[in-house]
Amino acid sequence: MGGKVTCTLGEVKNRADFIVFWGGNPAECHPRHFTKYSLMPKGKHVPNGRKDRTVVLVDIRETKSVKAADIFLQVRPGKDFEVLTILRALIKDQAVDPRQVAETGLTLEQLTDLVARMKRAKFGVMFFGMGLSMTRGKHMNSAALLTLAAEMNAFTKFVAMPMRGHGNVTGADVVMRWQTGYPFGINFSRGYPRYNPGEFSTVDLLVRGDADAALILGADPGATMPQPAIDHLARIPTIVLDPKVTHTSRLARVHITTAVTGISAPGTGYRMDEVPIPLRPALKSPYPTDEEVIRRIHEAVCAKPDWIHANGQYTTNQV
């Protein structure tokens, strides 16, 4: 998501006086987020810490994070995009249809109060979780929230940041963006990168049966993906690199055990605000690192004839 209006967690700690969590439950999923970055710390421009900050939680149900918030807005499931769009209208003083407001599960009073508080803020942040980005509307929801944050800058400083889940998923986005120009779902079959989520994203490729081999790294789709995708992984030759023998390893042709990232494998990991942090492993693994195994597979592939890059003319006739 290059181009998003964002900041680092250090800026949140030192400046943010208005914080929205949308579709996430940091109290249980990112336990130290409140104390280390977003709510409790005393910062340069928020010297009294939590007392200087207003915290809003937007979710479809009451989670443990509600206790940490000043305001809780309970949205009807699947209506996040509508709420965000109404907010975008309200900040510009445009008229909104009361029937559409009623459908969101919130009242116009709640929404106008939120808009007034957002505009009064000196530095506003919207953190959004998978409750927004993985439900009905998916990336359109994220886009609406990022647009709202960008548009709020006509009134005051406002930024948005995704609450990323597993360890270095941010690093995967950053590295792919750096190397290909795109963050995920990239197809190299024409010799140059093409990006199209929905067409080149994993679940879609597997469910349609397009992929005829799979290399799975530090992931266990055999435990998390829809059954038709898992069935296809079992049909094609699958190769798994993982510190454990996983569900996916059991249906794979090849499993290679690797050292655990950050515990016995050194390297770099990205925090959710795209700050790279060195890993400091405490143990010595009997297994090779992922980096080493992937490099060796790459070298073994490079020793074979290069059929795709063989004649350099594949790009000229493609649109």
Query: Within 280-299, which residues bind other proteins (CB under 8 A)?
Result: 280-291, 293-298
Write b or e for each residue in 57-90: b if 16 or more Cβ atoms lie within 10 A of its Cβ, otherwise e: bbbbeebebeebbeeebbbeeebbbbbbbbbbeb
Write the binding mask 246 to 285 for other proteins: x where contact by CB under 8 A, - elsewhere. ---xx-xxxxxx--xxxxxxxxxxxxx---xxxxxxxxxx
Judged by CB, which is closer to other proteins: 101, or 128? 128
| 4 is an interface residue for other proteins by CB under 8 A | no
What is each CA distance from 210 to 206, 226, 241, 319, in whole angstroms? 6, 16, 22, 21
Beta carbon of residue 130, minimum distance to other proteins (angstroms, whole number): 9
Contact between residue 231 and residue 257 where contact means Cβ atoms under 8 Å apart? no
Contact 273, 33 (CB under 8 A): no
| Sites for other proteins among residues 114-143 (CB under 8 A) | 134
Chain positions 145 to 164 lying near other proteins, rule: CB under 8 A, are: 163-164
- Site for other proteins contains 187 (CB under 8 A): yes
Bridge partners, residue 125, by sequence: 19, 159
Nearer to other proteins, 124 or 183 (CB): 183
- Total length of the chain: 319
Contact flag: residue 43 with other proteins (CB under 8 A): no
Whole-angstrom distance, CA of residue 191 vs CA of residue 312? 8
Please state the closest distance from residue 231 (CB atom) to other proteins, in A: 15
Among 66, 185, 207, 247, binds other proteins (CB under 8 A): 185
The token pair at 34 is 């409140």
214 is an interface residue for other proteins by CB under 8 A? yes
Q: What residues between 87 and 116 interact with other proteins by CB under 8 A?
A: none
